[in-house]
Amino acid sequence: MEFAASFALVMPELVLIAAGLVLLLVAAWGGDKAARLIAIAAAAALFAAGLLLVPGLHFGVDGPATLAFGGLIKVDSFALFAKALIYLAAIGALMIAPPFFDGPSAGSERGMRAEYPVLILFAAVGMSIMVSANDFMSLYLGLELNSLSAYVLAAILRRDPRSGEAGLKYFVLGALASGILLYGMSLLYGFTGGTSFTAVRAGLTGEMGYGALFGVIFVLSGLAFKISAVPFHMWTPDVYEGAPTPVTAFFATAPKVAAVALTARVVFEVFGGQVAAWQQIVMFMALASIIFGALGAIGQENLKRLLAYSSINNIGFILLGLAVANADGASAMLVYLFIYVAMSLGSFVALLMLRGEDGALFETFADIRGLSVTQPAIAWALLLFMFSLAGIPPLLGFYSKFVVFQATIEAGLVAFGAIAIAASVIGAFYYIKFVKVMFFDEPAGVVTGKSGAAHWVLLGLTALIVSPLGYLLTPSLTDLADKAAASLFLTV
C-alpha cells in the first residue's frame, strides 16, 4: 500500500525509465536509422512526464505526503519546479540535435546516433532523482546516473578528437568531484550517524566540530564542481568547447538546473541550521564566479568558450540568491534559473544556426562579423539574448538580476550586493562585444546556410520569452517559484 503511494509520487521518473529502456531496445534492433523516431518518442516521453508534474506545480505540494520510499525521495513543489525546467531543457536538446549530427560538423560519422536520445532520457532520470533526493544515498545515485550519461554524451562523436578530449576531461574531473563529494558525505555520516537529510540535520545542531565542518566544506566543494562555480570551474570552457554543440546546449541548461537545485536543497535542508558555516563560502563563490566568469570571457574568440564563461558568470548571480539564505532568495534563484535556461538555450540554438553553405557550423567571432546584414533574424535574436544576459532592461534578463539583487538587499547584504552589481558591468563588456561584431563590423558573409524549422521554432520561442513580452510571464513564474521555495523552507 505504501509502496503504491511511493510509485505514484515518482510516476514521471517511471515513465522516463520505461521509455528509456524500451527505446534502448529499439535502438539496439533498429540501429541509427531509427534515431530520429527514437528522438521524437523520447521527447514525447519527456513531455508526458512533464504533464504529470502540472497538478502538483499548480496546487503546490509539501509536507510528509511528499516522501516516498521511506524518506529517500521527496517530491515537493521545489522538486517539481526543477523537474519541469529540466524536462523542458531536455526536450530542447533533443529538438536541436538532428540537423547538427546530419551536417559536416559531426565529422566522418554523419547522422544522429540512436543512443543520443536514450542517454538524454537517462540523464533526465538522474537529474529528477537529484532534485528530489532526501538522502545522501539517493542524491549520489541520481548524480552519478546523470554524470555517467553526460560523460558519454560529451564524447559521442567518437572520431572527433575534440569531442573525445572533452569527454575524457569531463570524466576525470567529474570523477574527482564525485570523490570529494563522497568523502564529505562519509565525514558527515561519521559525525552525525545518518545519511538521510533529516538525520544529518539533526546531528548538526549546536556547536559544530571540525570533522562535521570539513564534511560540509567537502560536500559544498563537490557540488561546486557540478555547477562549475569558481574556484571549481576550470573544466567548463574546455568541455563546452569540445563537446558537440547540442550537447553543450544541454550541459549549459538541464544539468545546471539540477545541480543548482540540489545544492539549494542540501544547504537549506541539511545545513539549514548552520547558516553561518556555509554562507560565507557561498558568498565567496558567488562573487568569484561573477568576476572570474566575466574576466575570463573577455579574451575569448570562440563563441562556445565565451558562453561557457558566461554560464560561470550566471552561476555567480544564481548563487547570490542562495547566499541570501531565506525563502525570498531561493525563489529569486528559481526565477533566475528559468530565465537563464531560456537565454542560454536560445543562444546555443542561434549558434547552431550559424551554418555555411555546406551546413558546417561556425563558432568564432570572425565568422559572425556583420551578421546583421547577412542573417538579420539570427543577429537580432542574438542581440536580444546578449543584452538579456548582460541584464539590460527591458529584456527579461534584467528581471532575473532584479529578483536576486532585490532579495540580497532586502536581506541586508547591501555591500555584498553593491560589489556584485558593480562586477556585473565587467560582464556587459563582452556581451556588447558580441553585438558590436554582429552589427558594427563589415560582413564576413560566410554564414549563408539555411536552418530547419525546429531551430526557428525554438529560436522564436526563446526570443519571445526574453523579449519585453516575457515580463507578462513574471506574475505566474513568481507564484510558482514562491511555492517551490516555501516547500524548501518547511523543514527550517
Do 152 and 91 contact (CB within 8 A), yes or no?
A: no
Q: Is 451 in the site for other proteins (CB under 8 A)?
A: no
For the window 105-144, what string marks contact with other proteins as x by the rule CB under 8 A? ----------------------------------------
* Cβ nearer to other proteins, comparing 302 with 478: 478
Which among 482, 465, 225 is positioned nearest to 333, based on CA atoms? 482
Q: Is 444 in the site for other proteins (CB under 8 A)?
A: no
Stretch that binds other proteins, among 9-17, 121-129, 241-249, 468-476 (CB under 8 A): 468-476
> CA-to-CA distance for 114 and 105, rounded, in angstroms?
18
Q: Is 172 in the site for other proteins (CB under 8 A)?
A: no
In the numeric block, the cell 562523436 is attached to 157
Do 330 and 322 contact (CB within 8 A), yes or no?
A: yes
* Cβ nearer to other proteins, comparing 131 with 396: 396
Which among 395, 366, 365, 398 is positioned nearest to 383, based on CA atoms? 395
* Cβ nearer to other proteins, comparing 114 with 306: 306
Q: Is 387 in the site for other proteins (CB under 8 A)?
A: yes
Do 104 and 359 contact (CB within 8 A), yes or no?
A: yes
Report the nearest approach of other proteins to the CB of residue 254 (Å). Answer: 25
The count of other CB atoms within 10 Å of the CB of residue 221 is: 19
3-state per-residue secondary structure call for 478-490: HHHHHHHHHHHCC
User: Helix (H) and strand (E) counts for the chain?
Assistant: 20, 2
* Cβ nearer to other proteins, comparing 182 with 392: 392
* Cβ nearer to other proteins, comparing 39 with 438: 438
Q: Is 183 in the site for other proteins (CB under 8 A)?
A: no
Q: Is 253 in the site for other proteins (CB under 8 A)?
A: no
Q: What is the DSSP string of 261-317?
A: HHHHHIIIIISGGGHHHHHHHHHHHHHHHHHHHHHHHHT--BHHHHHHHHHHHHHHH
Stretch that binds other proteins, among 84-92, 132-140, 275-283, 400-408 (CB under 8 A): 400-408
Q: Is 374 in the site for other proteins (CB under 8 A)?
A: no
* Cβ nearer to other proteins, comparing 47 with 429: 429
Q: What is the DSSP string of 186-230?
A: HHHHHHHS--BHHHHHHHT-SSPPHHHHHHHHHHHHHHHHHHT-T
Query: Computed from CA positions of residues 298, 302, 306, 309, in that sequence, does the dihedral angle turn out positive or negative?
Result: negative
Q: Is 317 in the site for other proteins (CB under 8 A)?
A: no
Stretch that binds other proteins, among 67-75, 131-139, 279-287, 410-418 (CB under 8 A): 410-418
Q: Is 405 in the site for other proteins (CB under 8 A)?
A: yes
* Cβ nearer to other proteins, comparing 251 with 387: 387
In the numeric block, the cell 532579495 is attached to 407
Q: Is 173 in the site for other proteins (CB under 8 A)?
A: no
Phi first, then psi, for residue 286 (nearest 5°) are -65, -55
Q: Is 467 in the site for other proteins (CB under 8 A)?
A: no
Given candidates 409, 444, 486, 490, which one binds other proteins under the rule CB under 8 A?
Answer: 409
Q: Is 472 in the site for other proteins (CB under 8 A)?
A: yes
Q: Is 326 in the site for other proteins (CB under 8 A)?
A: no
Q: Which of residues 421-440 bind other proteins (CB under 8 A)?
A: 421-422, 424-425, 428-429, 432, 435-436, 439-440
SS3 call for 233: coil
Residues 314-340: b if buried by 16+ CB within 10 A, e if exposed: bbbbbbbbbbbbbbbbbbbbbbbbbbb
Q: Is 178 in the site for other proteins (CB under 8 A)?
A: no
Given candidates 394, 445, 448, 450, which one binds other proteins under the rule CB under 8 A?
Answer: 394
Report the nearest approach of other proteins to the CB of residue 299 (Å). Answer: 16
Report the nearest approach of other proteins to the CB of residue 203 (Å). Answer: 36
In one letter, which amino acid is 20?
A: G
Do 110 and 158 contact (CB within 8 A), yes or no?
A: no
Q: Is 477 in the site for other proteins (CB under 8 A)?
A: yes
* Cβ nearer to other proteins, comparing 234 with 411: 411
* Cβ nearer to other proteins, comparing 133 with 390: 390
> What residues have CB less than 8 Å from 5, skipping those under 6 apart?
68
Cα–Cα distances in angstroms (integers) from residue 86 to residues 11, 27, 190, in the given order: 16, 24, 33
- Tell me which residues touch other proteins (CB under 8 A): 372-373, 387, 392-394, 398-399, 402-403, 405-406, 408-410, 414, 417-418, 421-422, 424-425, 428-429, 432, 435-436, 439-440, 471-472, 474-475, 477-479
